[in-house]
Amino acid sequence: MKADPTHQHALLDVAELDSRAAQLRHQRGHLPETAEISTLEAERTQLTDQVRDARIVVDDLTVEQAKADREVEQVKARRERDRTRMDSGQITNPKDLERMQHELVSLERRISTLEDAELEVMEKLEEAQQLLDGLGIRAEDIDARLGELVAARDEKRVEIDRSLEEVSAARGPATEGIPEDLMALYERLREQKGIGAALLRSRQCGGCNMTLDASELSRIRSAPADEVIRCEECQRILVRTDESGL
């Protein structure tokens, strides 16, 4: 392929803009905030499940404690009724009094057992509530941090998008005047390699950083100035300048 050296040199400006755009897109897709957001969102999802499970435990223990409270109060109420009947003299039969006294002893034992169970449930409920509260605090912390990170990420994206728009706006004028066949080759190589054209500087390809051997340099040196040279290693368009070391 033949192309005016000026047009070949113009490819370097286009390549620089394309390289800048690629860097910006990579930067946009690999912001540090994005990785932290992803990590925190995964933790937040797990935390949501943990909060749900912890709340179920708290709710179940709350019901269990209410039941234990009722049972204790019921037995205490029965004890008080029996004591009232005995103290008021309503029971005069000795056998009935003896039976009532035995029943009071049984009720006291029953109350003690129920209160122990009630205390155990209360302790479990307190622990479960502390766990739930701790998870809630952690969730609030994550939500606050996510808000900060999302705001910072979005701000950076806006800045990067603005830069991308500037690069895109500059690319059109940079390609003006370059022959269609040369641009078609450049675009094909850019799609394959990321960079379609590179400067030959100090006998080294600016695309793959390969140092050309003597025979290749001799071939390039003898080629007409308007001949489009390709790197043997990476196949990119090699643009010759005074810096090429030929």
Mean pLDDT across the stretch 228-233? 92
Is residue 245 over pLDDT 80? Answer: no
Q: What are the backbone dihedrals phi and psi of residue 206, each rounded to the nearest 5 degrees, phi first? A: -75, -10
Q: What are the backbone dihedrals phi and psi of residue 127, each rounded to the nearest 5 degrees, phi first? A: -65, -45
The band of 93, judged by pLDDT with boundaries at 50, 70 and 90, is: confident
The band of 109, judged by pLDDT with boundaries at 50, 70 and 90, is: very high
pTM for this prediction: 0.70
Q: Give Cα separations from 146 to 25, 28, 50, 89, 152 (angstroms).
A: 23, 18, 19, 72, 10
